[in-house]
Structure 1
Amino acid sequence: MENSPPLETVHQALQALYNNPDVAGKEKASVWLGELQRSVFAWQVADQLLTQNTDLESCYFAAQTMRTKIQCFFHELPASSHSSLRDSLLNHASKITPETPPVIVTQLSLAVADLALQMGTWKRAVVDLIERYGSNTQQLPFLLEVLTVLPEEILLQIGSKALRLGANRRMEVNGDLYKTSPVVVQLLTACIENNQFDSRLQMKIFRCLGSWFNINVISQDDIVNSKVLHAAFHVLSVKDCPSNLHEAASDCICSALCSVEELGRNLELAEALFRGVLTLQEAYHISVAQEDTDKTINYCRIFAEMAESFLPAIISTPTQGLGDFTSLDLLLICAGHHLYEVAEITFSFWYRLSEELYHKNVEQINEIFRPYIQRLIVALCRHCQLEPDHEGIPDESSDFGEFRGRVSELTKDIIFIVGSSTCFNQMFETLQAQTVSTSWDICEAALFLMAAVAKNITSEENNVPQVIEAMLSLPSDAHVAVKYTSIQLIGELCEWIEKRPQLLDPVLQFLLAGLQQPALASASATALQSICTSCRSQMKEHFDGLLQIAQAMDSFNLSNDAAIGLLKGTATILTQLPYENVGDGLKQLCSFQLDPLNKLLAEGEPTVKQGSKHDPTLWLDRLAAIFRHLNPSVPNGQPHPCQNVLQEVFPVLSNACEKYQSDVRIVERCCRCIRFAIRCLGKNSASVLQPLVSQMVNLYQVHQHSCFLYLGSILVDEYGTDATCVPGLLNMLQAFCTPAFKQLEEHNGLRNHPDTVDDLFRLCLRFVQRAPVAFLQCQMAKPILCCAIAACSLDHRDANASVMKFLEDLINCATAQDHKDDFEVRRSLIEELLRDHGQTLVHSLLNTAVFCLPTYMVSDVADVIYELMLLDRPTFCQWLEITLKALPTESSGGTVTATHSQLTDFHKAVTSAENVKHVCNALKDFARLFR
């Protein structure tokens, strides 16, 4: 957009966007308005639209545009215009009335808040706003909204690419807010006193106070005895409190509880909150009696938040002061609520408690908490009960099914406190007290909890045989859910059964019977896989039976995952067979997959619908599972037992690649099969190497499926140390690089094709690891390094990790003292590369760590930087100094991003680092200055 458009044109575009029935007209208007918002003219247009105040659409567009421009494009404005922008915004805000739509109020509030955060010369923003709007009842909602979103924006901007305040500015803002918090508390107190019967305004007051609690800028001296905090507890204790107000007050108290997690610094406030929360017990019971679930959930949130905040005291000084176990009693009361949604709110606390106790590992402390965990397990078991009129097996994908999954995970986490055997016996007693025919739901829930702890049951546990016997002898009319969960428990007891070989035959008969029942087939297959994995030596004699099951697999009602799991188990047992039997067993097992696959290749169309009967991925996935879990031992001097089978399998996979070459989903499955087959045979797969490479190269010229690059990395890993294979593999690399670079050099090519980046640098990494000199001497080494430097800023987790690992190992070739004859050659070649590209690499790495990557990905950058220092620390010091001098040290708002002292300290911290952890910590601390 070259010129500022007339306002009339803007109004016409807005009318077309909101009122034109023509879809094409709406899209055209939307695109044009988007271009306007991105242009520098949007500032003036938005200001003029707000001044005109013509209609809702134009005012909302203007307010939203102003907020977006301030948040993302503040750098467009010269510092001399900041004050006039602020004055204009505040003038617009002065015209707000009770009739002003809330969406416009919110956008204007956000605009003012973002301006206050970025405009370093606006020193008394909060005080100015209170003085200007605090005494005007019409502007009070706007003032409260600004004071609410201001702290929220501070929290939201951390890690955001839009509003980057930096650590220095954030510290300055937090300091200013802390100093002005007494004025804010005074304002909120006056508001609450003057508006005791205005629930909407009270909501805003509590939301505002909670927002300030969230960033810990309220002094406990100012808030402990304030009427506004007491008002929040009062609201929560009134039984006819409106739901929205109740939720706002609950959020406020939860935020206050979060803010006192450092109990030593906030003891007085923590004690006041503790006393206040204890007064809510009766209100909780009233909400339960009145079946007011929303309020019950609010109380439970408060109880859980208090317990989490006081967890250090609960563990260090149990039953005393803030460690009073009333907190645990409140959570167990909530866990006993009839709705599982209420109980689930407490899970976070139990997770944290178990983690702390696990790390302490003190039996005397565990003993104190044991009765509470036992009560919790009883409550969880009750919540896991299916409805008595439930039909069929448990639906694990439903909300309730997912809840049961979370119960299972929580039980596994906390079980060490009471002991797996104790829990198992506790559930066993529940089973003994019930009959499957009359209380099937209670029995099923007990079996479900048993399954959660079964893996930790010792081989000496006495009650397991009785439980297994009861499951194996379930009557035919037992509820199918009980049978289903019994099968799952059998699978979880696989390690226990491995120590009791006499039970294997009846267990297998039980699972075979389950396979033949549609509802139980998948669970039976999964349990059978577990038995195969744990009882390998005993299952060898049952391999023929497993083959028969695999052949008849499609006559069972198995999910695809269960079928693949069954094949995994069968392949695991095949590995245990004598050398001379492996080849025939594999041939039979693969034939069950190859026959239908060959039929599809002969009859099917090149284009298939996912999941249709013509989809070959079903058979490809099964073949991949077989080879992945097959690892036979090969006697010295003997051919690999799977070689002949590979000769039969590879042509089929090659034909599938050719036929379905345009379908990346199918080609990926083919490559996956070949990958596991090659991993299984190792260098014994050499017969397929040349035809495989030729086909991959040819197909990649037409279809840039990154799976070919990944498969290429497998070939280099297996054959890269064989000097006779290296030239051919390097030719493969060069053939891949031409189309790959073309794809990545497109507009946003790196971002649009992260899989290509990931797999290309996995391939290059394998060359560095297996044939470094040959790789460094090839003509592609320099362009690959340049591509890696460009890809450093890609924030895709896997792709970036592959790039960084490639760079790290590449440089490590010149520093690793591995005593190989070619060490000096490697070092010379890498030094030559870095003479031309070292400065660019350091510039890219530092800017990537500071401006592009989330914090959790910075450690990979640190690995590369540390390797560079090990190679040539003096030269790296120069590169880093030049890079630091080029960084912007002042924001567009006039605030200092990084001081000279901070730059110097960072340079010293990195260049004097003795290990990579020191580099990583320095990078993370430095990056915060710009975020």
Structure 2
Amino acid sequence: MATNDQSSAIDAVLAALDTLYKNPDNSAKQQANTWLQNFQKTPEAWQTANALLLSQDLPVEPRLFAAQTFRVKSTYDIDQIPRETLPSLRATLITALQAYKSGPKVIQTQISLALSGLALQLRDGEDPGWGDHVVRSMIDTFGKDPSDVGTLLEFLTVLPEEVNMNQRIPVDREHYNTRTVSLLQTPARDVLEVLSVYIQAQGLTEAIQASVFACLASWLKSGEIDIHTLMQTPLFTMSFDCLTNEQLFDGAVDVVCDIINETQEVQDNQEAIQLIIARLLPLRPELQQAISDGDDDKVRGLCRVFVQAGEVYHSLMIPHKDAFFPIAEAIFACAAYSDLDIVQITFRFWYFLTGDLQRYGDEENAYAYASIYQQLLEAIIKHLRFPDEMESWSGQERDDFKSFRHYMGDTLKDCCQVLGSQTCLARSLGMIQDVLTNAQGGSAKWQDVEAPLFSMRAMGAKADPRDNEILPQIMAIIPELPSHPRLTYAALLVISRYTEWVKYHPDRIPMVLSYISAGFQTADLDVTAAAAQAFKYLGEDCDVELAPFLPQLFEFYQAIVERVDPQDGRSIAEAIGYVIAALPVEQATEPLMQFTQPLLQSLSAVANAEPSSVARADLQKAADRMEQLDAMLKPVGSKIKPSTLPPTCSATCQQAFDIIDTILVKHGSTFFVTERACELLRRGLAFFDFLAIPVVPALLERMANSFELTGFPSFIWITGKTIDTFGQRPMGTAFERISVKVNEMISSAGESGKSIIDMPDVIDDYIHTCAAVAEALPGQLFLSGAFPASFKIAVTCLQQMYQISILNAIVDYIRIVVGHDALEQNAGNGFSQSHNQLDPQVASQYANAIRSVLHEQGAALVSALLQGTVTTFEPEALPDTTIVLRLLAVNVTGFQALQSWFAAGLAGINDSVIPQTEKQKCMTTLSQGESNSIKPALQGIYAASRKSRERDRLDRQSNLLDQ
């Protein structure tokens, strides 16, 4: 008889399930789903689930929930019940499985999964009547009565899947290895015998046959079935025979693929492989018929079988051509099929076979496969063709097809590897020539030309940049293509791919430049973007060869810069930067000034104008000009060193800064202007290097002023970069002023109901700047009033933020502080290998300041680090967290104080994240050693929290209605 508490729990579950299944309110459904998932985690759920599962008079929904609950708790919560009661739990589940032998199958599955999870977790001697011979016991219990066969097959199917795939079951590796022997390896022969009996049984239904195949596939995937033993059973021949049975086809495909996979040790399985190939070859007419009928499902299944054989036996295909060439032909038939989902199944095979053909070189057997690759090349190019009715496609369908075309390009590269790039490119060129020759009165469809054009682009990586036979013809035909935006777009991308070839054939540069220039004259944005890309790669690859064209390029740039998209303008500017950078240093300054001065003049005009007269469009153009300057200086700065620049460049640095500074004064409250200006300032600092030293004080002053006015993070970013680069010199008060402003922003956010997490960019840049100051100017950090506040911000962010990059930056900053040389020098503990000696008085000042802050905020820091370890930190953060805690103990607090903070931090973590037992284990680990015990203690709580997080993640992703 149920107790009152149990009756209340049952009523609550039934009420929640009623809401979940019947209430039309989605919010109420979600609340019910969450409540039920939380209830499943409680110890009381065991008895409630048992009562519901055995109540056959209840609707199926409560009973299914009960079965799901047993499955969940058998995975996660075995420790909630005494170990001596596990045999009773097993008996309860088997009784329930017997009660549901007539279905519903979904409940059978959940109970079988629960039994599998329990079986894996049993320890030696805990269930003598079942533990060491689970499969034989289940066969004895359910294998005698024909009405129980389906139940037994369901359990036998899920057992290897659950044991091998459910990594959430909490067992250690040694126990797992031992249990898999008794659960899977030892009884594998028994399973084969049972399945062999069932597959030959009189009156066998197709449903049971399908279940036999599903079970066999599961055990094959487990790797425990010996292929030679399987060959001696009727299961082997039946699996192939059923590939012609429409009802059993899918299951047979799975089994045959798994059988083939089990013979991948080809030298040890030659007899089995011969039998398999002998059974596969008669299936080729079936495949051809399915292709003729357009039977996608059958083609897909047979394709999987042939491709599986091809991938597993690819190393045999050339030495044993006569036996395996028909397999390759069958796979090609699938690759030529109209359904691209089926085509892609073949791609990995071609990659494998290509590698083999390259290893065998010019052997006759290898050469024989060239005919297949020639057909494959044409088939793939045909698949690349955009359909005539593409206008009716959705945006997603277009994007999917475009993505898949690039995927097909990899197979075209395989064709190049086998046939040679010249042969493949010649065929693509021939297709275009055929279309243009046969077209009458401009009747050629653009799709028929674009597909081979795309193939040329895809195969570009395999082309010889010194080719003087095919590529000249390709370049010659490009200007002759029909005028259509899609063809112009494709041709420009072909040029992008072959700019390295143009480098070796500089006589083609005028034609290429002319075609690219014409691309910028169109109104099609895709075409202009392709033209910009082509120009960028041309500048990068043909930098030296384009130098004589700089006068024309200047005229071109001046004419085009006002009209192109900002991103395209950046690509053009970068290309010109490559050309200038290729010049000898003494020749580079003049063209650099020639190209940059108009941009600076444009910016100067905005800087000198009254703010009220500058429209937003003018500001956008100014931002674009700054972006172009940034792009132009990028390649120039990587090749031209400041020491080689003439003295006049120092004046240019000051002039350029004055312009940007004025723009920030007048328009620094416009975010996109700020972003571009700060990026350009950063590039300018890197480009001018020591020549920029005179402007650094004014720059930092401007950054501080602008951040105080706007709160834009870019100003912090530049401050940090400047200190990082020039930090050995006095840096003024910029950092302190920025720190004050950051604190004000955090306080204001709190007053308005927001928090630190609403300003991630500000926090990220500020923490990086703190780290830069700590490294370059420690006195300006540790001896300033900004230090306690900055450290508190870091600790608070550890508790509240979740962006991994920011958390990593915070831990790095904290590590710099707690591991600073001043602490180690002052303490004289020798913990670190660093020997950077400070003035003793300075070291003492720094150490006292750091210890003061850490004694005040150390408990919060440890709590934040523990909280992060079990919630938001990545596993890779564990070493850094360990080091921070060790440094804190050694340099600041001593290990006993750290233990106290550790205990307080653990107490603040919810037991649902780390169970109380795991917290106790952690503290026990800590008590067994000094700083060397921190690492295993952290690893223990991380492992425990990972289990809880995985469970919560699955709960969030799942809905009981969907299970």
Task: Report how far residue 140 of structure 1 moved.
Answer: 3.4
- 2:377 matches 1:368: no
- 2:169 matches 1:163: yes
Contact 2:719 2:734 in 1 (8 A): no
User: Which stretches in structure 2 are left out of the alignment for 5+ residues?
Assistant: 825-830, 907-913, 916-924, 948-963
Partner in structure 2 of residue 135 of structure 1: 144
Are residues 208 and 433 of structure 1, via their aligned partners in 2, closer, same or farther at CA, if it must alter by over 3 Å?
A: same
1:304 maps to amino acid: V
Partner in structure 2 of residue 515 of structure 1: 520
- 2:99 matches 1:95: yes
Contact 1:579 1:641 in 2 (8 A): no
| Residues 739-888 of structure 1 mapped to structure 2, 5 A cutoff | 762-763=768-769, 766=772, 770=776, 798=805, 858=876
Deviates more, 1:788-797 or 1:420-429: 788-797
Contact 1:468 1:490 in 2 (8 A): no
Partner in structure 2 of residue 336 of structure 1: 336
Partner in structure 1 of residue 301 of structure 2: 298
Partner in structure 2 of residue 346 of structure 1: 346
CA distance in 2, matches of 1:206, 1:363: 42
Compare relative contact order (CA 8 Å, sep 6+) and give the higher one, 1 or 2. 1
Partner in structure 2 of residue 916 of structure 1: none
Alignment deviations for residues 656-699 of structure 1 (CA, whole Å, 9 cap, x no partner): 76455xxxx99877765665555455562623222214544676
Task: Report how far residue 209 of structure 1 moved.
Answer: 2.0
CA distance in 1, matches of 2:764, 2:162: 34
Are residues 164 and 602 of structure 1, via their aligned partners in 2, closer, same or farther at CA, if it must alter by over 3 Å?
A: farther
TM-score (normalizing by structure 1): 0.75
Contact 2:101 2:150 in 1 (8 A): no
CA distance in 1, matches of 2:202, 2:625: 69
Alignment equivalent of 2:703, drawn from 678, 692, 700? 692
Partner in structure 2 of residue 915 of structure 1: none
| Residues 212-231 of structure 1 mapped to structure 2, 5 A cutoff | 212-231=219-238
CA distance in 2, matches of 1:135, 1:618: 83
| Residues 253-652 of structure 1 mapped to structure 2, 5 A cutoff | 253-263=256-266, 269-311=272-314, 313-314=315-316, 318-320=318-320, 324-352=324-352, 368=366, 371=370, 373-387=373-387, 397-412=398-413, 415-435=416-436, 438=439, 441-464=447-470, 466-468=472-474, 470-474=476-480, 477-519=482-524, 520-537=527-544, 538=546, 539-554=549-564, 562=568, 564-570=570-576, 572=578, 578-580=588-590, 582=592, 585-586=595-596, 588-589=598-599, 623-624=626-627, 626-631=629-634, 632=636, 633=640, 634=642, 635-637=645-647, 638-639=649-650, 641=652, 643-649=654-660, 652=663
Quick one: percent identity of the two aligned structures? 21
CA distance in 2, matches of 1:276, 1:618: 70
Deviates more, 1:346-355 or 1:56-65: 346-355
Task: Report how far residue 19 of structure 1 moved.
Answer: 1.6
Alignment equivalent of 1:118, drawn from 93, 118, 121? 121
Alignment deviations for residues 523-547 of structure 1 (CA, whole Å, 9 cap, x no partner): 2232222223323341522333343
CA distance in 1, matches of 2:153, 2:82: 30
TM-score (normalizing by structure 2): 0.73
CA RMSD, Structure 1 to Structure 2 (Å): 5.9
CA distance in 2, matches of 1:499, 1:826: 62
- 2:208 matches 1:207: no
2:422 maps to amino acid: S
Partner in structure 2 of residue 251 of structure 1: 254
CA distance in 1, matches of 2:365, 2:30: 66
- 2:152 matches 1:148: no
Contact 2:428 2:452 in 1 (8 A): yes
Partner in structure 2 of residue 609 of structure 1: none
Alignment equivalent of 1:80, drawn from 66, 84, 90? 84
Alignment deviations for residues 275-297 of structure 1 (CA, whole Å, 9 cap, x no partner): 44344323222221221111111
2:722 maps to amino acid: L
Deviates more, 1:689-698 or 1:223-232: 689-698
CA distance in 2, matches of 1:469, 1:232: 55
User: Which one has the largest radius of gyration?
Assistant: 2
1:340 maps to amino acid: L
2:110 maps to amino acid: Q
Alignment deviations for residues 819-850 of structure 1 (CA, whole Å, 9 cap, x no partner): 966599999999999x9999999999999999
Are residues 146 and 465 of structure 1, via their aligned partners in 2, closer, same or farther at CA, if it must alter by over 3 Å?
A: closer
Task: Report how far residue 627 of structure 1 moved.
Answer: 1.1
Alignment equivalent of 1:180, drawn from 176, 187, 192? 187
Alignment equivalent of 1:722, drawn from 719, 725, 728? 728
Are residues 780 and 742 of structure 1, via their aligned partners in 2, closer, same or farther at CA, if it must alter by over 3 Å?
A: farther
Partner in structure 1 of residue 960 of structure 2: none
CA distance in 1, matches of 2:267, 2:792: 52
Count of residue pairs the alignment pairs up: 870
| Residues 31-110 of structure 1 mapped to structure 2, 5 A cutoff | 31-52=34-55, 53-100=57-104, 102-110=105-113
SS at match of 1:531: helix
User: Which stretches in structure 1 are left out of the alignment for 5+ residues?
Assistant: 606-612, 894-902, 912-918
Task: Report how far residue 130 of structure 1 moved.
Answer: 2.7
Are residues 824 and 375 of structure 1, via their aligned partners in 2, closer, same or farther at CA, if it must alter by over 3 Å?
A: farther
Alignment deviations for residues 402-436 of structure 1 (CA, whole Å, 9 cap, x no partner): 22111224434664454433432343344444426
Alignment deviations for residues 828-875 of structure 1 (CA, whole Å, 9 cap, x no partner): 999999x99999999999999999988xx65x76799899999999xx
Partner in structure 2 of residue 899 of structure 1: none
Are residues 37 and 296 of structure 1, via their aligned partners in 2, closer, same or farther at CA, if it must alter by over 3 Å?
A: same
Contact 1:126 1:147 in 2 (8 A): yes
SS at match of 2:522: coil
Contact 1:381 1:449 in 2 (8 A): yes
| Residues 7-18 of structure 1 mapped to structure 2, 5 A cutoff | 7-18=10-21
CA distance in 2, matches of 1:600, 1:235: 84
Contact 2:239 2:252 in 1 (8 A): yes
Are residues 275 and 425 of structure 1, via their aligned partners in 2, closer, same or farther at CA, if it must alter by over 3 Å?
A: same
Partner in structure 2 of residue 610 of structure 1: none
1:452 maps to amino acid: A
CA distance in 1, matches of 2:150, 2:744: 61
Deviates more, 1:323-332 or 1:835-844: 835-844
Alignment deviations for residues 571-625 of structure 1 (CA, whole Å, 9 cap, x no partner): 55576784355456335447879999999997999xxxxxxx9999998577446
SS at match of 1:526: helix
CA distance in 2, matches of 1:347, 1:415: 14
Contact 1:582 1:642 in 2 (8 A): no
Are residues 23 and 844 of structure 1, via their aligned partners in 2, closer, same or farther at CA, if it must alter by over 3 Å?
A: closer
